[in-house]
Amino acid sequence: MKILQICFRIPYPPHDGGAIAMYNITKGLKEQGHDLTVLAFNTPKHFQESNVLDHLAKIKAVFVNTEVSLWKALVNFFFKSIPYNIERFIAADFEKALADILTKEKFDIIHFEGTYIAWYVDVVRKYTSAPVVLRTHNCEYLIWERLAANENNFLRKFYFKNLSRRLKKFEQEYYRKVDGIAVISGEDKKFVEHCAPGAKISVIPVGIETGNAATVNITPEAWTILYIGALEWQPNMEGLKWFLDNVWPKALALNPQLKLHIAGKRTPEEILNLKLPNVQVHGFVEDADLFMKKYDLMIVPLLSGSGMRVKILDGMKSGKCILSSLIGAEGIEYENGKNILIADTPQEWVQVISRYFSKGGNNIQLRKNALELVHSKYDNKLIIKKLTDLYKDLLS
């Protein structure tokens, strides 16, 4: 098939969940022999040379400044109907590039990565009758609804609620405009079905490369906990701060040997300058896999969010024991106590941590079960087959 993949950023390097999710689709489609063109935003935040994906696809990158502006956000809030999160990605240069590609070439499938760029579905419809697939990385409204529920500041809470409401309206409108929707999780599918009755929806999780998956004979440093995540993403910061405020002091009091290691892309100053006992902040680490293997229990204390956490799959692939909140583990077909540990309240978190380390940590069976889960459910080849099955169904 000839496929146009439209991305909200150049999906490289695959260092965070969004980039990994898109990059593995690009790579997987290429490996299956499909003719792939990538049209991507090139943003200040994730700027890359436009030839970084030449080994996988023909790529056209369009520079657009999507950086958040407080003034533009306020103007949008009071005078615009489209949410600011979407408006940041509306650009005449990108629209022109998309129109040029569709005028010059014929595609079998138009594949959109993420809701934030779904506005361009209307542009696509002007130039082609090819089926349009929207891959929803998250239910965006749900992230902000959850952030609002956890927010104590009145003004921020009001803004988050308003943004959530407007995003929900936008998602409901654009889910109905596409031909097929590839959702990340079963939880997201329920919302999409409610918004777009009768839509062709497939649950297609994030795929990861499992060919270099770890063995479980690597012994991590004893009595260690690790956190790794993109700390530019507000739900990650919210979850980490919650853990540091509500769980870490109590866990450390009961287990004075514990050490916490924190790593994250774009780690803010307030985290870099932490002065907490037995906490070491590493900032951005080049080799996330090596970082994960050095320490024992990996934590995912997420309170908001939607979709699924790629870092959990990466952790499982690296042979980690993982402790996550219920929201953190959404979208993954886990079994609590078999291939992951789940806790939600601060008390539960402290209890699970204490019990885990009281038994010596480094739970070999949990690690083996996690590896088996990744191989059986989330290997990228399996995911690409599900995606191309959706394509074929739309073309039949």
The position carrying tokens 């103007």 is 75
The position carrying tokens 């369009």 is 62
Beta strands 35-42; 2-7: pairing state:
parallel
> Quick check: do 2-207+379-395 and 224-377 share a fold?
yes
Confidence band (pLDDT; 50, 70, 90) for 107? very high
The pLDDT, as a whole number, for residue 319 is: 86
Token pair of 97, please? Answer: 């590039």
Token pair of 44, please? Answer: 């200040």
160, 148 contact by CB (below 8 A): yes
Average the pLDDT over each of 26-30, 196-200, 305-309 and give the range with the smallest value: 305-309
Token pair of 104, please? Answer: 């010059």
Rg of the chain (C-alpha set): 21
130, 110 contact by CB (below 8 A): yes
Mean per-residue pLDDT of the chain:
93
Number of H helices, E strands in the chain: 16, 13
Secondary structure element (H or E) that encloses residue 299, with its range:
strand 297-300
Three-state secondary-structure class, residue 393: helix
**What are the boundaries of each domain within the chain?**
2-207+379-395, 224-377
Contacts of 168 (CB under 8 A, 6+ apart): 141, 145
Please indicate, yes or no, whether the overall pTM of this predicted structure exceeds 0.75: yes
Domain 2-207+379-395 top-level CATH class: alpha beta
Q: pLDDT of 156-204, one tens digit each?
A: 999 999 999 999 999 999 999 999 999 998 888 988 888 788 889 999 9
How many Å apart are CA 150 and CA 235, to the nearest integer?
10
The pLDDT, as a whole number, for residue 214 is: 58
The position carrying tokens 């953190």 is 328
For the ranges 10-19, 124-133, 283-292, the one whose mean pLDDT is highest: 124-133
Residue 5 has φ and ψ, to the nearest 5°, of: -100, 120
User: Angle of helix 364-377 relative to helix 310-317, nearest 10 degrees?
Assistant: 120
The pLDDT, as a whole number, for residue 218 is: 72
The pLDDT, as a whole number, for residue 187 is: 85
224-377 to CATH, choices 3.20.20.70, 3.40.50.2000, 3.10.580.10, 3.40.50.970: 3.40.50.2000
Average the pLDDT over each of 149-153, 278-282, 297-301 and give the range with the smallest value: 149-153
Contacts of 84 (CB under 8 A, 6+ apart): 72, 73, 76, 77, 163
How many Å apart are CA 152 and CA 100, to the nearest integer?
47
